[in-house]
Structure 1
């Protein structure tokens, strides 16, 4: 009996020895598999059977009991953990790089968060909380604000294509156009601007923020809206801008536009209107057309700018100056090496400084109005109208200053209307659509309709 129990004890002791041995790291199983497969080592394409006398390398639990050194050396370095490869210096560099990437991501996150917070109108949000209660914030304008325009009640007359929006009050009726944003919901279809004949020569003497010129305010001219759009920086709305032309100059503008397509026509047919629209949206063709339309002496036009959020004159000035700089750089690129443009002259630099001085200090709250008027000689006049107070009383228009050099106003106008990139693509498209409508009517009919 003792002799028969000995073989069983030997088998059991062998299995107990296997159980006592520590299990190898999981990476060795992976290494064994990858090193033994024919795809991991193209040189070993044939299978060699193990000798019959070789003892089994796995127990009944399926654990490997031995590994060949050559198999471990064949493990790709990419499968090893960072802590198991390289020298201590390499490990340290690895962790330093990870820390730098993490710090950079944290820094970018904080910068983005700070920029977003700086653009929020926290004061307005606080006022909305007080008026509507906590948890009912409204970042856009309220319905009550949308139903008034410069202290006058807004009414909608009709529906569909025949719908008209008018503001009535104080013995006046103003026809309005929707802007597409409830921050500044409406623009007037026509505006009255002072006749500032000869004011350009006084631009250097007039100080920013000066009182309105009484003689100019008494004499006013009517301007008609051509088109408008919203200027955005990234995804943030900055202001609504509308392009106006003096009503008495509309027939001259129609003639110029129509003759761009058909020199002998008095109006354009649908196919010709599409051709004009394509030209006005093309980078090169639009530059040529507007160079002719803005030639001096020419038509009188104006831009009406209304901020959609509280800002100041310096921010508006920076945007205008940036646009002027881009246009001057484009002009330099179009010339051969060594040639100078008209913008290299010393008097142009002085004109730039005069333009910057117009916007020295001052606030431009949401709903206020900045007007830039270009007369027949190209001189620029900048006017400002403060936002109506709580009682709805309309504020007087003030003259901030002017620049006589026609190159300044020309570059600002071109930055909105021509070229491959403009300050506000929606504004350009709105103006182009309005010009096409003008060109599709007989010369003189638009002016008569407005009047």
Structure 2
């Protein structure tokens, strides 16, 4: 009798241990299967709090509005990609609020493959922008780019890579160099001085993917005591008055790298000025 009781006690204890182990495993598995998005939200929130503490002020990040709220965004009609009408870029050095001037799609090849949508933003509230209303659209674009901070916000229509975009940017800069030499606005000594910043610009782009609809923001700083900088957000910056300014102007040469972008910017600047 005593032996049978002992045997039953051992069996009960073993079953109890197995039950607790199963519960523990279930809880562990459940915690591992929490949606990746929830974990990302936790880390993004933590990073935002850390950044706000470090900068000593509120950091405002751009985010898409709730579904159906288009009051603060504008859609590219060719791709349905949304762009905020005002852009706030967090920075240790205070940056102005950028206004969306125009947007459009970039296409390549005779098939018209849509590569990315691009929005052009500028500090239109800058009091130093003394543009005559009678100036042509091209003159207004040139004046804005040369005299205030601007941003190009690029949104790929499909998954791509930083290196693929980099190659297109470099070709645009090289074409701009040829054009400026033809116009006599790029002396030989200045051309030599561009080579080093151009190499640095090329080296900033990693050979990694860039997901569909992920923003790539390229900032042209305002003129000042130092050479202007072209800042590729989260990747790096390069200082060169010529490279920084001509990179943005390349988007508006002739019909522009994106003709729809050039068209909307020109239309919206028609009544801009004094």
Q: What does residue 252 of structure 2 align with?
A: 417
Q: State the Cα distance separating 1:293 from its structure 2 match.
A: 3.7
**Whole-angstrom distance in 1 between the partners of 2:213 and 2:143:** 34
Residue 189 of structure 1 is aligned with which of 65, 72, 85? 85
Q: What does residue 67 of structure 2 align with?
A: 154
SS in structure 2 of the partner of residue 436 of structure 1: coil
SS in structure 2 of the partner of residue 414 of structure 1: helix
Structure with more relative contact order (C-alpha pairs < 8 Å, separation 6 or more): 2
Q: What does residue 381 of structure 1 align with?
A: 231
Mapping 1:42-441, distance limit 5 Å: 150=63, 152-155=65-68, 165-166=70-71, 175-182=72-79, 184-195=80-91, 215=92, 219=94, 221-234=96-109, 235-249=112-126, 251-253=127-129, 255-258=130-133, 261=134, 276=135, 279-280=136-137, 286=138, 290-295=141-146, 298-335=147-184, 340-341=187-188, 343-345=190-192, 347-377=193-223, 378-383=228-233, 399-418=234-253, 420-439=254-273
Query: Structure 1 residues 311 and 245, CA, compared in 2 at 3 Å: closer, same or farther?
Result: same
The gaps in structure 2 that reach 5 residues or longer are: 1-61
Q: State the Cα distance separating 1:150 from its structure 2 match.
A: 4.4
Q: Structure 1, residues 137-163: CA drift from partner, whole Å, max 9, x if none?
A: xxxxxxxxxxxx94642325xxxxxxx
Number of matched pairs: 207
TM-score calculated relative to the size of structure 1: 0.42
RMSD (Å) for aligned C-alpha atoms: 2.5
Max Rg structure: 1
**Whole-angstrom distance in 2 between the partners of 1:221 and 1:319:** 28
**Whole-angstrom distance in 1 between the partners of 2:168 and 2:217:** 15
The gaps in structure 1 that reach 5 residues or longer are: 1-148, 157-164, 167-174, 196-214, 262-275, 281-285, 384-398, 444-451
C-alpha contact (below 8 Å) 2:181/2:187 kept by paired residues: yes
Q: State the Cα distance separating 1:252 from its structure 2 match.
A: 3.8
C-alpha contact (below 8 Å) 1:194/1:221 kept by paired residues: no
Query: Structure 1 residues 424 and 341, CA, compared in 2 at 3 Å: closer, same or farther?
Result: farther
**Whole-angstrom distance in 1 between the partners of 2:152 and 2:202:** 18
Q: State the Cα distance separating 1:422 from its structure 2 match.
A: 2.2
Q: State the Cα distance separating 1:304 from its structure 2 match.
A: 0.6
Q: Structure 1, residues 50-88: CA drift from partner, whole Å, max 9, x if none?
A: xxxxxxxxxxxxxxxxxxxxxxxxxxxxxxxxxxxxxxx
Runs of at least 4 residues off by over 3 Å: 149-152, 288-295, 339-343
**Whole-angstrom distance in 2 between the partners of 1:365 and 1:152:** 20
Q: State the Cα distance separating 1:185 from its structure 2 match.
A: 2.6
Q: State the Cα distance separating 1:181 from its structure 2 match.
A: 3.3
